[in-house]
Amino acid sequence: MKKILIKGESVLNVPNLISLYRLLIFPVILYFALTGREQWYVILLCISLISDVLDGNIARIFKLQTNFGAALDNLADIFTYAMALLGLFLFKWSEIEPHAWILYLFLSVFLLSYLVSFYRFGKIPGLHLYSAVSAGYIQSIFFFVLFVFGFYPWMYYLAVGWGAIAYIEKIFILFKLDDIKIGVKGLYWLMKKDRERLNG
Angle at 63 between CA 61 and CA 64, to 5 degrees: 110
Q: Whole-angstrom Cα distance, residue 184 to residue 182?
A: 6
Question: Within this chain, do residues 117 and 155 fall inside the same structural domain, yes or no?
Answer: yes
191 shares a domain with 114: yes
Q: Are residues 146 and 180 in the same domain?
A: yes
Per-residue pLDDT of the chain (200 residues; tens, 9 = 90+): 455 545 555 677 888 899 999 999 999 999 999 999 999 999 999 899 888 888 878 887 888 877 788 888 888 988 998 999 999 999 999 999 999 999 999 999 999 998 999 999 888 777 778 998 899 889 989 998 999 899 999 999 999 999 999 999 999 999 999 887 777 889 999 888 888 888 86
Predicted TM-score of the model (pTM):
0.85
Range(s) of the domain holding residue 152: 97-129+139-200
Helix intervals (H) in 35-152: 38-61, 67-91, 93-96, 100-121, 130-148
